[in-house]
Chain A
């Protein structure tokens, strides 16, 4: 495998050997290492010295169930710190087929031209994107598929990324070529926009599957992992309800963010929960699908296609975090409207979590009534039109809070929280506070733990454990839910890695990888100027009691500051 470099200043492509200390890491850990090695932590995230990094995880390339995720990274335009955001779809798989260990987009364009970076076995070509600049995500994907054929993978940005909006993400095609798998968090779409790259097209028709050193051993481990995953009770739940199985559980603990994080129970819960959604989809038929795989080979299939009353697809997938932030967080209990907003936000190329949170803040500022879905949609259209208000909202919740002088702003390190209230699920609050990534549910949720979620004393340890595991999975390219399979047969991680690469790795390779990733990330953030003050939840959460538990976030500062001691 090689390092592929794309120089936007000179439209040049070069290929290098992988430095030895990048070899045994991938995905999230590799991104942190590249950032430390090559990016000035003090640089302007949208300037020439930042790099957009694509790094498939170590297990990507074999259609191992739910293990072909692609990590994107760079210095975050949203948080100003380290950023890794990953997505499913086909981008990771095809990059590996071209032998790409990591792809780096470097330097700044010298003029106004926009590019499609076309990758195939011969290298990279710069092709004009002038005809697709300004188009939404869905139309862009359609045009590119017409131009390059149906077998390519594509990573692309929407108008929000082109306009350098801080909540812009990078979309990827799913296995049905819908550009819906978004590396949403941290503004990496803006970073791609700053390089004037509208899309990266990966043509792996003549690529090759990566070599496996010990095929028999790999297959044996794969079989055990897949069986463990298929037998896991959670796999069926995700297949039937998708991630929107969550509302009942979050609300059950009083942890469903409601009306801009002012309550933890939503009275309209029944109308938005996964059980209701499933009923809708089964009744509606047509293009509706209750279960769907985002990448080839995924046996969990947590994705779905949400369709209207006539069975016509509105959006795919409709996920819990989006339902939470555009639903209860805005006081909205209409799934059809939530799905339509989701489509619009996707088409703009934005993160539904940060935009949902920004709309909640806007409602608090009096720009909409909570519960008014029509008005929420109008505000999203302001983003499309590029009005001053739209430009503010498209930068996410933190900027919106500042611009509109709202103090209840649910962000950490400038990034919006997802649909778990940290005053009710305090371990997740610890994750939000201390993850080098900013508030991010994928960094380590604790809601599954059978603990007293309100007891401040027991949270840090639980959060630390899941944060390390998640950083490990993000470095392997494994979907969070693949973790359910690995949890039953943890030794298969070592077996798969050793069989694939011929290395010898530690029993606890997953945790080693996770610890390494977090250590490197914290070092990058330290050099970027982050201090303990950045590892805190918004202050209002420490004194404003959250109904119905009437709890505040009271995990000690000591616990937050020492969570990653002895990594």
Chain B
């Protein structure tokens, strides 16, 4: 089973404050063919798919997207503008 390594880039309220600073990104190794949903479950990150934009290569994708090696996956709690 081949593996891929991806980075989850966390935005706004998904960033977690720890004694060692703010966690803004998580590296993750996952089985090739697994979806973002699977990965989030492994990482224990809960998102509401309706209220979160998942952006890979500057494109919206769904939780069923299967990441490729090296993907940077932005998890952006949706906001309507500034």
Chain A residues close to B by CB (< 8 Å): 233-234, 236-238, 240-246, 248-249, 252-254, 274-275, 279, 319-321, 324, 419-420, 424, 441, 445, 447-448, 450-454, 480-481, 483-484, 548-549
Contact = CB atoms under 8 A, between A and B. Distances in A.
Contact of A252 (B15, B48, B51, B58): B58
Contact of B60 (A245, A248, A452): A452
Contacts of A234: 51, 77-80
Contact of B12 (A240, A450, A454): A240
Contacts of B12: 237, 240-241, 245, 248, 274-275
Given A274-B12, A275-B11, A246 B77 contact: no
Nearest to A246: B82
Contacts of A238: 79
Contact of B58 (A241, A253, A321): A253
Contacts of A248: 9, 11-12, 74, 76
Contacts of B74: 248, 252
Contacts of B13: 236-237, 240
B22 A279 contact: yes
Given A320-B82, A549-B58, A249 B76 contact: yes
Interface-centre pick from A249, A275, A320, A480 (highest chain B CB count, 10 A): A249
B53 interface: yes
B44 interface: no
Interface-centre pick from A241, A451, A548 (highest chain B CB count, 10 A): A241
Contacts, number: 88
A448 B58 contact: no
A548 B57 CA distance: 10
A420 B82 CA distance: 10
A441 B77 contact: no
B2 interface: no
B18 interface: no
Contacts of B19: none
A448 B24 contact: no
20 contacts: A233-B48, A233-B78, A234-B51, A234-B77, A234-B80, A236-B13, A241-B12, A246-B82, A248-B11, A252-B9, A252-B58, A252-B74, A274-B12, A275-B15, A275-B24, A420-B81, A445-B81, A448-B78, A448-B79, A450-B53
Interface string B58-76: 1110000000000000101
Contacts of A484: 80
B58 A233 contact: no
B55 interface: yes
Interface-centre pick from A275, A319, A419 (highest chain B CB count, 10 A): A275
